[in-house]
A and B are shown apart, each in its own frame.
Chain A
Amino acid sequence: MAEIKLNHIYKRYDNKFEAVKDFNLDIKDKEFIVFVGPSGCGKSTTLRMIAGLEDISDGDLVIGEKRVNDVAPKDRDIAMVFQNYALYPHMNVYDNMAFGLKLRKFDKKEIERRVMDAARILGLENLLDRKPKALSGGQRQRVALGRAIVRDPQVFLMDEPLSNLDAKLRVQMRAEISKLHQRLQTTTIYVTHDQTEAMTMATRIVIMKDGVIQQVGSPKEVYDAPDNVFVGGFIGSPAMNFLRGQLEDGYFKMNDLKVKVPEGKMKTLRDNGYTNKEILLGIRPEDIHDEPVFIESSQDTKIEATIDVAELMGAETYLYSKVADQDFIARVDSRSDVHSGQNIELALNMNKCHFFDTDTEQRIY
């Protein structure tokens, strides 16, 4: 069992800079937690504090039942996987995986059993005699994972382990790590700046910015109900569109354009005193439609737009345009055959949109 509790964790440096502020999180046994955010948001620092590579300035870190703030890293029963392959270049694959166990004084037979088990899980049985130089990038990262697996730790800590791989391999390894987690069921904390990795791998995502947790939730929760503008814009690709306007008579107005707000949402906004006030509307690119059937049934959320750029992505096309002088992107079916410069009709699915306060940037509905 390896539950991890982070209670009011802070990281302060000598120059008083706070890299992590009041971080609170309960990680359940067997969870796959992903810390995600832009560079400098404190995600790696938090991971390093859990590993014991950084001191905790304030707060409590509990692994299992034990407060481990002052426990030496080697006694925390964790294994780390890094962005760099973390391999000994002149040892073969077997010795690379065995070395950590030798250090911990495991007997030879147990070392062999664990290395062979890990090799089987990772498909490395035929590569045990090879040196890292003779392996591909994906194979090297698999050996690095193997080095962590043989330790059979309570917790895996992974710090951007796929960022050295090319895009195709990254997708493949992403799936392999997920499968590995399903098989081993070891509590895992994974750091990345890539929101796609976070969305596809996590049981729960922790989104961070400037050392502060912005939201914790399942991938679906953070996608469907972002707590604030930052989360809305960070999760999802292409990013959520944000349009500034005013609420008047049940409509969201931008200059001379207006779209009808569903009554349920309007009531909440009215109750919270947003009538006739400036407000931020957030709508995902896939919730802006060009299909005639949808437009037909959504006359009061229809807009006209001149397409600046139409990017064909294969099955989908991204349409870049402006509404009331504000940029937006729509993600439509490629069968639409829209061209740059074309003037078209689009309709917003207002049931899927979000409203944010312009000052606090928190989601209202």
Chain B
Amino acid sequence: MMNNNLSELYGEDYTVASEQPEQFYWYETADGDRFGIRKSRLSHDEQVLLDALFPSKGIKENIDDTLQQKWASLLFNENMELPPLKEKKLRYIHFHLKEAPSDFSEFQEAMIGLFSTDVVFLFKNEKEGVMIQESIEDEHLIEELEQMAAALTADFFLEMSLFVGQVIHNTDPSNLLSTYQTEVKWFASGINLMPSQLVFTQTAIVPAILFSEASQETIHYLQTLIEPVSDDAELLKSIRAYLESNLNITLASKQLYVHRNSLQYRVDKFIERTGIDVKSFKGAVMVYLALYTLELR
């Protein structure tokens, strides 16, 4: 009855199937009947109203593609059939949204448009999903993902975290599934511990996993190591840059836009005040973990 009324109201702009599905917003009734209304026909208010009446819209619309279906079948339904692959390696880029997007197809379009190579895009639920990337380009990836997450926030007012998983060479379906499941768990730990982090990499997520199982006592102990400098934000930022530049003063000073002598002075000041030789590998590891505790929720 409802569908008849909608059909009457929207005339030719109402359909139940189309060869150009991207021109329509797709909805599903409580009985599972699917219908679409041409995007250009809907005003913003009408769209909001339809969204409220047919909340299941969106996710299913975006799993029409065969390749998407095959990946969804493997990763979400544990059906051990290998989706067709172009390459012999791949990786997952997991995403997590704070809120569900109001328009799934526009969001998907934006996400896919962010990559220069083909990705398979899957929503697991309204807020979580994964992109499967076969052509792996690492150059500037993290920086680009950070920019893209910020751009999506600006355009959709949605906040997002991403986790770039490991490069998988063993494309056996069981390995693809188990790696996916492990990474989902790791990503959840990372988000829980560091909710403001935009992009997680393996190197950032491993300490998060260690800390998810660490006692308060351990975390407190690590924090006390850098307590003498804990209120000096600039010094801590400098030490972090120094560590992340592989203890290379020249490189780190360029990143911080300071003279290398200034950074050298700050490193010496850190050693003098904490008593930890951050220039040694062991000292650096300990300070890195201690700095990590400052980011924990």
9-residue interface stretch from A82-90, A203-211, A304-312:
A82-90
Q: Mark B247-281, 1 if CB is under 8 A from A, else 0.
A: 00000000001000000000000000000000000
A52-B157, A103-B106 known; A84 vs B233 contact (CB < 8 Å):
no
List residues of chain B with CB within 8 A of the CB of A166: 257
A72: contacting residue among B110, B114, B151, B157, CB under 8 A: B157
Q: Mark B147-168, 1 if CB is under 8 A from A, else 0.
A: 1111101111101000000000
Does B144 make an interface contact (CB < 8 A)? yes
Q: How far is the CB of A290 from chain B (nearest CB, A)?
A: 27
CB distance A74 to B114 under 8 Å? no
* Chain A CB within 10 A, most for which of B98, B110, B154: B154
Complexed CA–CA distance, A74 and B140 (Å):
30
Complexed CA–CA distance, A169 and B149 (Å):
24
Complexed CA–CA distance, A72 and B157 (Å):
9
A38-B233, A91-B113, A166-B257 known; A85 vs B147 contact (CB < 8 Å):
yes
Q: Mark A97-118, 1 if CB is under 8 A from B, else 0.
A: 0011001010000000000000
Does B125 make an interface contact (CB < 8 A)? no
CB distance B154 to A90 under 8 Å? no
Closest B residue to A74 using CB positions: B157
B153: contacting residue among A53, A90, A91, A99, CB under 8 A: A53
Does A79 make an interface contact (CB < 8 A)? yes
Q: How far is the CB of B136 from chain A (nearest CB, A)?
A: 15
Chain A contact-residue range equals: 20 to 34
Does B102 make an interface contact (CB < 8 A)? yes
A39-B233, A84-B198, A167-B257 known; A79 vs B154 contact (CB < 8 Å):
yes
Interface residue ranges of B98-129 to A (CB < 8 Å): 98, 102, 106, 110, 113-116
List residues of chain B with CB within 8 A of the CB of A79: 154
Does B146 make an interface contact (CB < 8 A)? yes
A39-B233, A132-B147, A167-B257 known; A80 vs B153 contact (CB < 8 Å):
yes
List residues of chain B with CB within 8 A of the CB of A52: 157
Closest A residue to B256 using CB positions: A166
CB distance B147 to A84 under 8 Å? yes
Complexed CA–CA distance, A147 and B150 (Å):
12
Q: How far is the CB of A47 from chain B (nearest CB, A)?
A: 13
Q: Mark A108-152, 1 if CB is under 8 A from B, else 0.
A: 000000000000000000000000110000000000000110000
Complexed CA–CA distance, A148 and B153 (Å):
12
Q: How far is the CB of B274 from chain A (nearest CB, A)?
A: 20
CB distance A82 to B155 under 8 Å? no
Closest B residue to A131 using CB positions: B116
Does A236 make an interface contact (CB < 8 A)? no
Does A199 make an interface contact (CB < 8 A)? no
Closest B residue to A165 using CB positions: B257
CB distance B155 to A84 under 8 Å? no
Does A233 make an interface contact (CB < 8 A)? no
Closest B residue to A52 using CB positions: B157
CB distance B151 to A53 under 8 Å? no
Does A51 make an interface contact (CB < 8 A)? yes
CB distance A86 to B150 under 8 Å? yes
Q: How far is the CB of B258 from chain A (nearest CB, A)?
A: 9
List residues of chain B with CB within 8 A of the CB of A51: 157
CB distance A53 to B154 under 8 Å? no
Closest B residue to A100 using CB positions: B155
CB distance B113 to A148 under 8 Å? no
CB distance A53 to B159 under 8 Å? yes
Q: Mark B21-53, 1 if CB is under 8 A from A, else 0.
A: 000000000000000000100001000000000
List residues of chain A with CB within 8 A of the CB of B150: 82-86
List residues of chain A with CB within 8 A of the CB of B198: 84
Complexed CA–CA distance, A91 and B112 (Å):
12
A89: contacting residue among B114, B154, B155, CB under 8 A: B114
Does A59 make an interface contact (CB < 8 A)? no
Q: How far is the CB of A187 from chain B (nearest CB, A)?
A: 18
List residues of chain B with CB within 8 A of the CB of A82: 150, 153-154
List residues of chain B with CB within 8 A of the CB of A72: 102, 157
CB distance A86 to B151 under 8 Å? yes
Closest A residue to B146 using CB positions: A84
Interfacial residues, chain B to chain A (CB-CB below 8 A): 39, 44, 98, 102, 106, 110, 113-116, 140, 144, 146-151, 153-157, 159, 198, 233, 257
Ordered by A's residue number, 21 sampled pairs between the chains whose C-beta atoms are within 8 Å are A53-B153, A53-B157, A74-B156, A82-B150, A82-B154, A83-B150, A84-B146, A85-B147, A86-B154, A88-B110, A88-B114, A89-B114, A89-B147, A89-B148, A90-B114, A91-B113, A99-B151, A103-B106, A103-B156, A105-B44, A148-B154
A72-B157, A88-B114, A103-B110 given; name 15 further pairs at CB < 8 Å.
A53-B153, A53-B157, A72-B102, A84-B147, A84-B149, A85-B147, A88-B151, A89-B148, A90-B114, A96-B151, A99-B110, A100-B155, A105-B44, A133-B140, A147-B151
